[in-house]
């Protein structure tokens, strides 16, 4: 999650899940199978609906016949991470004490979530040494240029999220993660070696592009690779990775208080995770859903066999094939304008819009001043306290995600954020003892960060790909994160101006009101996805859509 960054503030996307529109397989890859009813689809669980009414189920067509093996030179979809411990794609609550089924997918998910660690690191890396950078590169005393060095990162992320869908659809999740590590590495090197403002801006912009793609891609990948039973728990690694990246940057930045050139070391260090992602993803699996979309069903089955419980392999492959066969065209951006994709896109964009205007970046920015009031004058130390609180909340969320479900955590999270905001407003707006007022402000700030990390952060990135169809998943994610970056930029741009005009109490009261509104929105429009495969969710939503009869 973001930390105090002046003046444009970044939000850590909660992390986000995977799925892509599929390129049409060439004639040499597979023939179109005859259309019949898909009896193999086993009766679906109760129907999911984004909102009423209930509608008749649609016909499905059977999976295509087995495909030929990949042509010579085509990479295998199954990686060297083949941990044969447990499994499970079944529904139900997340694993208990002796349930180690998540271990199969964990190495692959952990490798991908290193991209979120890098995201968090780049959020925190400018928090301390920005003044030293300005002095050395010749723009000290210019708050606009200092803000531009920070905000150009958001501009790059905006363009990265827009272009992420095309990359994922063409190259798949695994290869795209490796490709976008290149601008992350080059951007960090350019920034570390910068001798002018222009070089620093170019480096930060390249880093932003890579981060913009990765914030879409990592939750997408995790949702498509993780077994259903553990999808929520593993999805929280996006949030955890971002928190750890922020903490690492703030901790590594401590020497910058005495060494004005330490910022170069910090930026050089940002190259290391990028290199590890390129190397590590070489041994990770490709998304089985993407493999099926491009016609590589044999490879998709190998991945499922390596990650899922053996008893679930055939059922899962039948569902994946049925979804692919029922959708014989490439997805396009115009699909987001028609049912049911427009509803999912609206929910995804709304969740990120409300998340940003619930004030997470404003609270993070103002937290350093809040801590200063109680004697903690080091901005880096205050941010470290916030980062640790955020990390603790993310750990609790990882334990609850597949037990309590996404919807409960999301509603509870925003209610807790609203209470925290009103607690701070009470502390600063009513005549209280100064010590009591400061204590309430500190308690409210930490409670807000903790409750954000319980749901508003991680659930937003997890549930959007779960609700999206295979055809439009990457585009819905790209659209949602584009909304995220726009709102992130606007909040960072106008937050201080609003505080100066209306006061902290009024602005925080507005954040609390938006948090309450978001809880109501989640209660009415979010459906529970815990324990359901992506294909079950997609087919249930499609059957609830008018005009989908075939």
Taking the alpha carbons at both ends of the chain, their separation in whole angstroms is 44
72 pLDDT higher than 80: no
Cα–Cα distance for residue pair 526/357, rounded to 1 Å: 19
| Residue listed under structure tokens 């459906």 | 527
Best mean pLDDT range from 249-258, 355-364, 390-399, 493-502? 390-399
From its phi and psi, is residue 15 left (phi > 0), alpha (psi between -120 and 50) or beta? left
302 pLDDT higher than 90: yes
Q: What six digits make up the tokens of 203?
A: 């480096």
- Supply the pLDDT for residue 328: 54
| Surface-to-core class of residue 254, CB atoms within 10 Å of its CB (0-12 exposed, 13-18 middle, 19+ buried) | middle
Q: What kind of fold does domain 101-286 have according to CATH?
A: Growth Hormone; Chain: A; (1.20.1250)
**DSSP-derived secondary structure letter, 329:** S
- What phi, psi does 73 have (nearest 5°)? 95, -20
Three-state secondary structure readout of 162-215 = HHHHHHHHHHHHHHHHHHCHHHHHHHHHHHHCCCCHHHHHHHHHHHHHHHHHHH
Cα–Cα distance for residue pair 193/124, rounded to 1 Å: 19
- Supply the pLDDT for residue 32: 41
* Residue 170 CB neighbour total at 10 angstroms: 12
13 pLDDT higher than 50: no
pLDDT band at 8 (very low <50, low <70, confident <90, very high): very low
- What phi, psi does 503 have (nearest 5°)? 95, 155
- Supply the pLDDT for residue 320: 87
Residues of the chain with CATH 1.20.1250.20: 101-286, 336-544
SS3 at position 320? helix
pLDDT tens for residues 90-148?
444 444 445 777 889 999 999 999 999 999 999 888 877 888 899 999 988 888 888 88
As its CATH architecture, domain 336-544 has: Up-down Bundle (1.20)
521 pLDDT higher than 50: yes
| Residue listed under structure tokens 């914030």 | 215
Q: Check if the beta carbon of residue 462 is closer than 8 Å to that of residue 406.
A: yes
**DSSP-derived secondary structure letter, 341:** H
Least confident of 77-81, 116-120, 222-226, 484-488: 77-81
pLDDT tens for residues 190-229?
999 999 999 999 999 999 999 999 999 999 999 999 998 9
In angstroms, the Cα distances linking 163 to 167, 173, 480, 485, 521 are: 7, 14, 13, 14, 29
- Supply the pLDDT for residue 150: 81
Q: Check if the beta carbon of residue 1 is closer than 8 Å to that of residue 453.
A: yes
| Surface-to-core class of residue 505, CB atoms within 10 Å of its CB (0-12 exposed, 13-18 middle, 19+ buried) | middle
- What phi, psi does 45 have (nearest 5°)? -65, 180
- Supply the pLDDT for residue 237: 94
Least confident of 322-336, 411-425, 475-489: 322-336
Handedness of CA 284, 289, 293, 295 (dihedral sign): positive
Q: Check if the beta carbon of residue 291 is closer than 8 Å to that of residue 300.
A: yes
| Cβ within 8 Å of residue 73, ≥6 positions away | none
- What phi, psi does 83 have (nearest 5°)? -75, 110
Q: Show the CA angle centred on residue 402, arms to residues 398 and 403, nearest 5°.
A: 100
pLDDT band at 380 (very low <50, low <70, confident <90, very high): low
- Packing angle, helices 360-373 and 504-525, rounded to 10: 140
Cα–Cα distance for residue pair 14/120, rounded to 1 Å: 11
pLDDT band at 81 (very low <50, low <70, confident <90, very high): low
Q: Check if the beta carbon of residue 178 is closer than 8 Å to that of residue 279.
A: no
pLDDT tens for residues 93-106?
444 445 777 889 99
Mean pLDDT, the chain, as a whole number?
A: 80
How far is CA 141 from its chain centroid? 35
Of 249, 136, 255, nearest to 197 (Cα)? 136
Cα–Cα distance for residue pair 132/142, rounded to 1 Å: 13
């Amino acid at each position: 999650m973001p930390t105090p960054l002046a003046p444009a503030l970044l939000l850590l996307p909660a992390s986000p899940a995977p799925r892509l529109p599929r390129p049409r397989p060439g004639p040499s890859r597979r023939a179109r199978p005859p259309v019949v009813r898909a009896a193999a689809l086993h009766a679906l669980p109760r129907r999911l609906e984004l909102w009423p009414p209930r509608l008749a189920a649609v016909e499905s067509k059977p999976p295509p016949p087995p495909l030929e093996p990949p042509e010579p030179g085509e990479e295998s979809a199954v990686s060297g991470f083949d941990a044969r411990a447990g499994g499970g794609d079944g529904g139900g609550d997340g694993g208990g004490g002796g349930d180690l089924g998540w271990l199969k997918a964990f190495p692959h998910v952990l490798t991908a979530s290193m991209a979120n660690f890098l995201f968090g690191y780049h959020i925190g890396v400018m928090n301390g040494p920005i003044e030293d950078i300005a002095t050395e590169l010749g723009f000290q005393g210019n708050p606009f240029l200092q803000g531009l060095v920070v905000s150009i990162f958001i501009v790059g992320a905006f363009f990265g999220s827009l272009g992420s869908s095309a990359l994922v659809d063409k190259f798949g999740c695994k290869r795209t993660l490796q490709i976008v590590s290149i601008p992350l590495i080059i951007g960090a090197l350019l920034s570390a070696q910068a001798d002018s403002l222009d070089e620093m801006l170019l480096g930060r912009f390249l880093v932003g592009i890579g981060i913009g793609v990765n914030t879409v891609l990592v939750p997408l990948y995790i949702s498509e690779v993780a077994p259903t039973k553990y999808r929520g728990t593993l999805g929280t690694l996006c949030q955890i990775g971002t928190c750890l990246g922020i903490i690492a940057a703030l901790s590594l930045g401590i020497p910058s208080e005495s060494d004005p050139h330490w910022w170069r070391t910090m930026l050089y260090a940002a190259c290391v995770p990028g290199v590890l992602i390129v190397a590590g993803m070489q041994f990770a699996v490709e998304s089985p859903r993407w493999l099926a979309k491009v016609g590589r069903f044999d490879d998709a089955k190998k991945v499922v066999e390596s990650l899922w419980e053996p008893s679930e392999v055939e059922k899962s492959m039948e569902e994946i094939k049925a979804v692919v066969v029922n959708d014989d065209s490439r997805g396009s951006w115009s699909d987001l304008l028609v049912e049911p994709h427009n509803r999912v896109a609206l929910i995804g964009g709304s969740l990120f819009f409300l998340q940003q205007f619930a004030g997470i970046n404003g609270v993070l920015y103002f937290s350093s001043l809040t801590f200063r009031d109680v004697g903690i004058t080091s901005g880096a130390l205050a941010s470290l306290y916030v980062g640790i609180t955020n990390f603790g909340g993310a750990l609790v969320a990882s334990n609850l995600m597949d037990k309590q479900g996404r919807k409960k955590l999301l509603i509870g999270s925003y209610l807790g954020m609203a209470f925290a905001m009103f607690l701070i407003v009470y502390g600063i707006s009513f005549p209280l003892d100064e010590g009591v007022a400061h204590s309430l402000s500190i308690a409210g700030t930490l409670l807000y960060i903790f409750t954000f990390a319980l749901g508003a952060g991680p659930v937003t990135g997890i549930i959007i790909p779960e609700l999206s169809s295979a055809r439009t998943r990457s585009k819905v994610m790209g659209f949602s994160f584009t909304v995220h970056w726009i709102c992130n930029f606007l909040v960072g741009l106008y937050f201080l101006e609003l505080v100066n005009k209306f006061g902290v109490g009024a602005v925080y009261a507005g954040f609390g009101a938006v948090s309450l509104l978001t809880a109501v929105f989640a209660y009415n429009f979010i459906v529970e996805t815990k324990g359901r495969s992506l294909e079950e969710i997609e087919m249930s939503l499609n059957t609830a859509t008018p005009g989908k009869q075939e």
